[in-house]
Structure 1
Amino acid sequence: MTSKSSTLSKKSDTKKYCPNYPGRELIIDKLVKLSIKIYEHPSVSVSNASKAKECIICSEMIAENVYANHVDRCISNSSIRSKQLTKTKECVICSEMIAENIYANHVNRCTSYLSMRSKNLKGTKECIICSKMIPEDDHAHHINKCLAQSSMKQTKQKTTKECIICFQEIAESDYAAHVDACISRSSSSTKPKPISRKSEVSCFTCSSPVSSSKTSSHTVPCRSHHIYCLKCLENSMNEYIQPNTAPVCHSTLCDYEFSRYDVACIPLEADTIKRLSNCVKITRRPQCPICSFYIDFNTMDDFQKHVASCNLENFIPCEYCHCPYNVHRLNDHSQQCRSAPRSQQLQALIDFILPRTKYLATAQQIRVFIAHRKKTRAAIEPHAIIDALAELDGAFPFDIPTLDCGICMETCIYDDIFVFGCEENHKLCYVCFENSCASKMNNNETLTCGMCNYQLQEGEIKQLRVPADRKRQYLDYQIQKTFSAYVGGSQGIIRCPNGSCKWVAEASNPNDRFQVKCPMCGYEFCSLCNRQYHFRTTCQQIPEITERWFFWCDTERGRYWQARAQQDAQFRTQLDDYERQKAANIQRNQELAERYNELLADEQYKSANCRLCPHCQRVVQHLGGCDLMVCGQNYHGGDEQSGCGKGFRFSQALPYVSATNGGPQQVSNHVPEPEQQKLVVHHDIQCDTCHDQVQGIRFDCVHCASLIFCEKCEQRSTLEHSNEIRNQKKQQHVFQLITQSLNQNDS
């Protein structure tokens, strides 16, 4: 890629009169010389006036006595025509060069066509090289093929140029010599004397004549391109080194400020360049001629190394984050970027643009600038954004939203202000936020808002902009302070049942059952029974449902399908499937057996030793001492657990009654024999595997928000679900067997 327009950009073919035609300036200069030669040639006689000569511009036959005037007019007309041809703009949709007076109408037509085309071509993507609509599956392969063809075509085009005199395709290496020969042949009859044209360039300071050679003069890249002789330039730069002031083009007539790149390009001694670089104040970056991005560098060698290694060929912008990626990596990146949130895609674009702008900019400025371009429907593309920012000459045109910190009163941008969850929504900068937390922790106080007594939540502490170990220290401290505040009080608390975890929280209503996910260890549990959370069932129903599911998987499934197959041959398929899946069910059944045995032992122990809290129905145990108890802790303090915090007498509480039966003979009675069972239709309930209305036994996972299988899909689907849960290293899920149609489910 040699400029912003890469091999991927669609450019219109170079025309004969295009003002940017390669070699045009050379040709025009030679033609001007030729016209001067013809004007000043003294040997043209009157006898030659009747002779005609072909004009090298328009190819008309012109009398020799008026040939010079005619060539002059042709050159002028050619220049005027080329200026007129430059009044065009490239269409942002189809990339064609369109006259400015019809540009708006053309873009509207292109936009309408593109909209209709996108509706009719769903499942396809437009090739960025040839603009054809390609199926998404073949898009990456097609781009590789197009790139190869485009590179070959461009290589072929670059090797030849069209001669502006004879219009033949000439090799680039022979182009200049060929043009000279063409001009010589067209003017051979005049044989003019060579005329040397002297340059009249003078130094901007001393006005002495200077040549354009780099060894005798230097051109400053200001708007006026002022030229200095090296002596005046050195004297001028020394004036800035002594007081250590920012170097400019001219102290009074031109305020163009030098960048480090400008200083590095000055043909002065290395020591002078080094001292002058230390005086540079502006942060303007130089533009790479290959990728057209602005590059930050420490030395001139660094910049030259970048230019030498820069190669943006085969780079295509991602359609999601708009950052350019190599075509071979684009497909993998797009798959990841497609699923990323838009905020992450935007941040990727900002991170790409930030080090490549002409002037230093903040991430917030680029974010605001992109938002403004989206509102005006301007191109959201790195080159377009960077070029637009460069035209601003370091001045940002939009106001950045700011707020004042409530403590230090410093004005900060929105991104540097934290808003607390208190009623007043106090706002502090992150520095004051962290200082407030550190001060309260040093004083052994609970972490609160820096301006009120609002107690900080875990999510707010996680927003601190501090190292991870320091953040963990704040979180552990807040948990300990919260736990200590509840000890000895009457509040209801919820504590993580994971023995190695210290998390504890106040329960707004200790009698409510809800799902709790510990923010410290990630363990999920029921707020009442501390077991794996269960949907649509009470804590008292879980032991019976678990027991029934275990015996179904262990023995009753096979018996059920054998009876079904004997009753109806259509169920023979399910029986055969059951026999094939026996081996795969072994591991699942072993895990369920372990869970059931633990549950059975726990239920037997609680039946013998525990009672129910009369306020919240939690299971409590009396370990000795007086009969008075407090739910969730010892009566006189200590041993804090989940509980409602209310007192009662243990002897007056109801004993715990286990819902388990302890044997398969009782469980099997819950499933009627097929010959006694009518076909049960569960109306408006669909199987999550076959999506048919559930008939027969309905299997409902009590540990998932919604997961239902019919009896035909149950064995295979529950086994797959069991494998997924095992891979997540979680406790096996239990399914409830529903043999009757339910009008409504418990939530």
Structure 2
Amino acid sequence: APGGGGPPAAPTPPSELTGGAGGALAPTPPRLGNAWWAPLRRCLAAVRASVRLQQSVATRHRLRWRCHAARRAGLVASANCSQMLVRLGNPLVFFGELCDFLDGLGVPPALDERAPLGTRPWHCDICRNSQRSRGWCCPFSHRFCMECMSRWAEASPFPTCPAEGCGYRLGRRDLEDLRVSEARLKAFQEGLAQESIDALRQDGRAQIKLFRCPGAGCNAGVTLKTSEPRRRWACACGAPAACTGCGASPYHFHGRCDEVQNLRARWLAWLQGGGEAFRALERRAAVEAAAEQVAHREAKTRRAELARDEEWKAANCRVCPRCACAVEKVGGGEAVVCGQSAHGGHRQPGCGHRFVWQDAE
């Protein structure tokens, strides 16, 4: 070593620098400790949890569609379908039991559900990918995967089969099977209604009439026969119920269509002053009725008093044989004088006739 007194350092063997005789340099890989593996394990666990969550959500969507399909086919009642949908909202529900129940009813699997093992794969004519799901199939056996058909149904106002020359037009049931959005399904229904309305307008010989919803901004309507009687029609948009005969709203249950204007005029007159005049008459009648009730009670009281007086006179008085006045004997013998005491005094209205008390009535 320069400047030192020690022995010189031993040279490094070439085999250690080259990794062997005539070999290239090979650095030793670093060793990963527990501090490196813990974050990696957490990342893998998060990925697995996300995949399981996505699979669970997809399974719920498929089972929800199968419940609606069972209800549409009449295999279950609406109440039972609602119960199954509520049960699907519980995150602790075991999907296998509900899936076995629907399989037992014969409900077909969802379009994006994987086919059983052993089923041969097929190719979608749009994406050209190999598929193992059920897929969507038109009545002419043109088969496409659900993902491609869903995008196709969302993009076209009136979707048809993508196969060239097929011409099959998708209906509401097909869109429900493809699980399109609620907005798309509503737009499809409105488009069909508008198409029917336009066809009716062009055909003047049709023995039907069109009734449009009176709601602002609502294009809904209903077709009725010209001979059909009027009825109450309420639109789903929330507009007030109207009459299909004259279009009046609110609906007139107890009046004919030709009486609506007269009834409305009477109602407006009532609101503009007729009601107040009627209420004034009603208050006056109430006051008079109260006065009559008071007079009636007083008359009943007087009648009761008169009845008691007559009962007392019948028990304690006699009738004068000459003038028929009631005579009361307050004391003395049997000889009495009408209108005064037997010895004079105590004069009262009377004729002065003398009679025997026991002989009088």
* TM-score of the superposed pair, with normalisation by structure 2: 0.38
* TM-score of the superposed pair, with normalisation by structure 1: 0.21
Q: From the CA coordinates, give the structure whose radius of gyration is larger.
A: 2
Higher relative contact order structure (alpha carbons within 8 Å, sequence separation ≥ 6): 1
